[in-house]
Structure 1
């Protein structure tokens, strides 16, 4: 029997080097080199809100009109010069130091149930230190969250690079931030975006050194990267109009359950 894929992703040269990926619940994209220097340039992770279990990326890109909801959803999430929906970058004295957009991509798992790919970034200056990063994203069928492994390469005497995983905050009233007391889980339920609905964004870190913080621009988690050792975290989103997760409470509860399942993974005993 042919299994119809529940995940999909690809490099999108016809849209300024985007790299986009999706599963049966949600879709995302990262921005590439060709977007730099244009008035559309942006940095962080973008979310596409969908309410269908079919794969929509090719169709939406082909139509060129994915900022309007034609029944399956739309891209209304705004990233700009922020971390968007849970991207990672070094932080110096409270200021995020962004790299340029990704330079190289590679697909590692191409479905039908898991899509994994890697994006590489060229070195940039972080407070006098040259830093490179390679990010591996993995999205499973049925999940709202990606697993991200970001490996930073740098030479520093103390061998430590403070990094931040952040969710961009909206200026409008009505956002709900998850309680900051649950170590490692940050949920952000956005203010309603007119008739487009509401997106919930969330990040989960298992690193016990991570600290959660609510700043003017981002809700964020701080961690320390070591040279050549991946910082692993989870990030993703849910759209209320998809009908599965429809309010902040359900979203925060999803994130907490997801974190619990990571701490105590399923084990199978064979007698």
Structure 2
């Protein structure tokens, strides 16, 4: 697909959003989207069908982008109701998606282009993004892990995901320009009899593959964790600065093929780390019990010309990121 076609399709997607008069739809104009979009966040809901048990059944795959959403009780993994199974966000370097169901894992969309591509993903056969295309593809094998930087709770030597939640809400806060942001609110997340309301705020900015995450909880929890998926035969890297700890993996962990190395990194404030350890499927940080947390993550791959091309360059970027984080952290 050439860049002109790509831009036209993206503009059409934004036009569809703008033309819908529902208060839950985005209102940016196609012209603005085509000329100013440097970042993008979205969630799209399938139309024209009906629920049959835990699957949404329709003749085709037509989706409506929304700015707010509450998950129906029957939504689970592979319900075929949300385009690529949850919200997505991207900038000129990389994209991500969050499974908006009990798994709550974060996956990576690697990109070959600086243009916004997510409005196209999952429109031509729903899960075609699992294969490498001219724009990139879904690169990370999440499995039973939290993926890259999602939340869980450590119970009985394992990570409990979001199996017991009263309600899950998604809201788009800002789309396009230099920064895009959204939040996910989990009401009544119940693990081992301890309930909490948790809000996760995600932000991505142009020119930096990092996603910054701010978490607020209605009650301090002594088992809240975030992590980074463990894969065999990749290099584990760890770096520390005055205020932050960053862990990373680099190597042949790209499910699109071994031609390109994939780098994954997770960084957490030192003052908020209660414990750092390995679980069955993840490298994990356990948070100090409190009601607010800050951390972030990023992914890089060699298929994008402006991303690190070697492990040495990846580690250099890690060090630069830590320096910037320290500079922005209050003393």
Give me the TM-score of the superposition, normalised by structure 2: 0.69
Rate the CA distance shift 1:8–1:179 in 2: closer, same or farther, 3 A.
closer
- Secondary structure at the counterpart of residue 315 of structure 2: helix
Contact 2:38–2:116, Cα closer than 8 Å, also in 1: yes
From the superposition, tell whether residues 124 and 56 of structure 1 become closer, same or farther in structure 2 (CA, over 3 Å): same
In the other structure, the counterpart of 2:295 is 233
Aligned residue in 2 for 1:72: 135
Residues 56 and 31 of structure 1: is their aligned pair in 2 closer, same or farther, counting only changes over 3 Å?
same
Q: Residues 216 and 31 of structure 1: is their aligned pair in 2 closer, same or farther, counting only changes over 3 Å? A: closer
Measure the CA separation in 2 of the matches of 1:168 and 1:27. Answer: 17
| Matching residue within 78, 86, 92 for 1:24 | 92
- Kept in 2: contact 1:188–1:219 (CA 8 A): no
Give the 3-state SS of the residue equivalent to 1:261 in structure 2. helix
Distance 1:114 1:181 in 2: 27
Number of the residue aligned with 1:219: 283
* Structure 1 residue aligned with 2:235: 176
Does residue 13 in structure 1 map to residue 45 in structure 2? yes
Question: Which residues of structure 2 form unaligned runs of 5+?
Answer: 1-30, 47-79
Alignment of 1:20-169 (within 5 A): 20-33=88-101, 42-64=103-125, 65-100=128-163, 103-154=168-219, 159-169=220-230
Which consecutive unaligned segments of at least 5 residues does structure 1 have?
37-41, 267-271
Give the length in aligned residue pairs.
251
Q: Secondary structure at the match of 1:124?
A: strand
What is the distance in 1 between the residues matched to 2:238 and 2:170?
36
Cα distance, 1:26 vs structure 2: 0.5
Report the aligned-residue RMSD. 2.4
What is the distance in 2 between the residues matched to 1:190 and 1:169? 12
Deviations 1:56-81 (A, max 9, x none): 11112222321222222111312233
Which has the larger Rg?
A: 2
Q: Which residue of 2 aligns with 1:242?
A: 304
- Given that 1:207 and 1:223 are in contact with CA atoms closer than 8 Å, whether structure 2 keeps it comes out as no
Q: Which moved more, 1:178-187 or 1:61-70?
A: 178-187
